[in-house]
Amino acid sequence: MPCDVKAYILSCPDREEMRLQTIRNLAATDWFDEPEVEIDRTTCERRQERQERTALSLLQRAIDSKHELILFLEDDLDFNRRIRHNLENWYPLSRWRPSMPFFASLYNPGVGLLTKSPQRSFCVANPNGVFGSQAFLMSSGAARYITEHWWDVIGMQDIKMSRLAARLCPIYYHSPSLVQHIGVVSAWGGNYHCARDFDESWSCAA
């Protein structure tokens, strides 16, 4: 990629089989870089709170690694086969510089949109309508701000990250989605969703 990016997967011990499948799915693309995994080791009674705290730990770990961009992934995903190529040529990233905050999603479960630019393969989301943290791409600076203000926003990690990021920059969505949710039920008991515009073989013109 034109910038330094590292993928991290949020998971828990009882989802090992699904997590390993997600890692295999990513390896079958042109990403060619093994993701880091953050496993839930918390003892909170509520599964939602465990996810919130583990997501925070993942972001703190990613910030410490000093990568320019962080790809936050959940553990039940499939991927576009040319995901790296498509990001290398994505218009919003081509205009981004490491000193700037950046936040985007590669997975769209049907969020509300403010603007669309189909020729440039992106949309801008209404931050108050964002849900689903399957594949968030963010700058390290945005991640640092999110961790510093994590408890300012009530909600799970998708709500916290998107609402906090919206204080800094637009929330871009790749169109079509480059990531798909492959689980059949939510890991924490919420409503299941998927990306209707996911395209496994889509490739942008270089």
What would the two tokens of residue 46 be?
């509520």
The sign of the dihedral angle between the CA atoms of 131, 153, 67, 121 is positive
Which DSSP state fits 150?
G
Domain, as residue range, for 136: 5-181
Output the pLDDT for position 172. Answer: 98
pLDDT at 1 over 70: no
Does residue 196 lie in a domain region? no
Residues with Cβ within 8 Å of residue 80, at least 6 apart in sequence: 29, 86, 177, 178, 179, 198, 199, 200, 201, 202
Does residue 187 lie in a domain region? no
Does residue 203 lie in a domain region? no
Does residue 92 lie in a domain region? yes
Output the pLDDT for position 42. Answer: 85
Does residue 193 lie in a domain region? no
User: pLDDT tens across 78-123, in order?
Assistant: 999 999 999 999 999 999 999 999 999 999 999 999 999 999 999 9
Does residue 157 lie in a domain region? yes
H helix count then E strand count, the chain: 6, 10
User: pLDDT tens across 3-52, in order?
Assistant: 799 999 999 998 999 999 999 999 999 999 999 999 998 877 788 888 99
User: Tokens 């990513």 appear where?
Assistant: 26
pLDDT at 190 over 80: no
Least confident of 48-52, 127-131, 188-192, 201-205: 188-192
Does residue 195 lie in a domain region? no
pLDDT at 2 over 60: no
Output the pLDDT for position 88. Answer: 93
The sign of the dihedral angle between the CA atoms of 123, 127, 132, 133 is positive
Strand partners, 135: 73
The rounded percent of the chain whose pLDDT value lies above 70 is 94
Task: Compute the average pLDDT of residues 64-85.
Answer: 96
Give the total number of structural domains in the chain. Answer: 1
Residue 190: is it exposed, middle or buried by C-beta count within 10 angstroms (0-12/13-18/19+)? Answer: middle
CATH of the domain at 139: 3.90.550.10
Looking at residue 135, its amino acid is: A
Cα–Cα distance list, 76 to 4, 11, 12, 24, 55 (Å) = 24, 9, 11, 11, 15
